[in-house]
Amino acid sequence: MPSRKGTAHEYLDEVILILMNTTTTITKTEKPIKTTKQQKPKTVKQDAKSQKPTKVVGRQKPDQLIYRVPHCAALYAAALVDPFRAPGGACVPADLFPLPSSKVKTFLRGRFSLGTTGYGYITARPGAATTSMVVTATTAASVGGTATLFSAYTNLSTVVMAQCPYTSAQITAGVGARVVACGVRIKYIGQLMNRNGIVLAYEDPDHKDFAPAFSFDTLGGNPYCKASRVGDELWDSEVCFSGPTTPTDIEFQQSDYPLGINLFMGMAVSGVAGDAYEYEFFQHLEYIGNIVVNKTPSHADAQAFGKVVETSKALTQDKPLQSSDIGGFWNHLKESFISSMPKIISAGREIYGAVTGPNPISILRAAGAMTSLDQDMRDRSHHLMYGGNSPQKYLT
């Protein structure tokens, strides 16, 4: 586990470094065996009387496997669990045919207020164009109560992601975009002595629209919602994108909204009428297309991608993903990789035997082991992404 010493950026750098240099070693110790004529003894002792070499007892070298989380998977995991502090440059390592892409991190900062009755909210979604509306929030003039659907609140404000490098027209003309990660966070900025209220943080697990589905009362009873007290932390609450929910979420889209138009993540707040909050919304995107510049190589690692998404979804069974989950995220990801090690070791023995063994037929056996291993990893990722099963299925 990282130490949490130093600045926030140093802490995140440490986590990424740990992920990238994770070493998982599995050792199997064999029982002592006697050397045979075909095996060269490690040492030979001469008997003074017989002048014949005595048999010696040796140990087989233990099977070892060292696995490190790939660089692309480490950056992807860091961007998911903490899109605010994670460095730019992350990609989605899910493609079988990865294309060079421009990897962009953008953000916006603004304010919203609680309405005339002391209730308010903010909802967000990622957007790929300069005119993409990514945030909707209440103002001090908004009207809505504890039982009012958020979609029925009045006098709302909307904000576009002007920092995006491409316009809606350019995207329509051939620029493809997809979302790597995103997140929204808020904090109270009023007088400390007047600080009060409750924040309900939520990401819809199916990325359905936030506002038409809930009021403050009904959202509080949702099992995926997390309630916190205003003023608990520097940032009172945050919600991070937990990863794709459909196959199209990992494909490049010629759309201003690669994940769809639904505002699927955000917070609802209760307090005193007019209370002011600051928010930040960060997003990590990839772009492709003939007019796209600053492209860098992308990577494909279906197994690592599946493990990262598996971990993210496992941590959001009863609340939204938040950067405070980074310790649990790391431990869960490590255990997830370890769970697949026995299969890899078995295939590794076959491959090693093919390289060192005298029998040409062993080459075919090794090829079969590689195919079996590859298919097993594909099945795990495919089942997780497209089968709709709980990530808990593969945790044992």
What are the beta bridge partners of residue 239? 184
| Structure confidence at residue 337 (pLDDT) | 72
The total of other beta-carbon atoms located within 10 Å of residue 317's CB is 12
Query: Which pLDDT score is estimated for 316?
Result: 92
Q: What is the pLDDT of residue 301?
A: 87
pLDDT at 384: 43
Annotated domain spans of the chain: 99-296, 340-394
Tell me: the pLDDT tens digits for 333-390? 877 777 765 555 555 555 556 556 555 555 555 555 555 555 554 554 444 444 444 4
Mapped to the 3 state alphabet, what secondary structure does the chain carry? CCCCCCCHHHHHHHHHHHHHCCCEEEEECCCCEECCCCCCCCCCCECCCCCCECCCEECCCCEEEEECCCHHHHHHHHHHHCCCCCCCCCCCCCCCCCCCEEEEEEEEEEEEECCCCCEEEEEECCCCCCCCEEEEECCCCCCCCCCCCHHHCCCCEEEECCCCCCCHHHHHHCCEEEEEEEEEEEEECCCHHHCCCEEEEEECCCCCCCHHHCCHHHHHCCCCCEEEECCCCCCCEEEECCCCCCHHHHCCECCCCCCCCCCCEEEEEECCCCCEEEEEEEEEEEEECCCCCCCECCCCCHHHHHHHHHHHHHCCCCCCECHHHHHHHHHHHHHHHHHCHHHHHHHHHHHHHHHHCCCCHHHHHHHHHHHHHHHHHHHHHHHHHHCCCCHHHHCC
Q: Record the tokens describing residue 41, joined without a space.
A: 């003894």
- pLDDT tens digits for 83-126? 999 999 999 998 778 899 999 999 999 999 999 999 999 999 99
pTM of the model: 0.73
- pLDDT at residue 33, rounded to an integer: 45
- Report, at the CATH architecture level, how domain 99-296 is classified: Sandwich (2.60)
Mean pLDDT by 10 residues, the chain (396 residues): 47 53 45 48 50 50 54 90 94 88 96 96 97 97 96 97 96 96 94 88 94 95 92 83 94 96 96 95 97 93 89 91 87 75 56 58 52 52 44 36
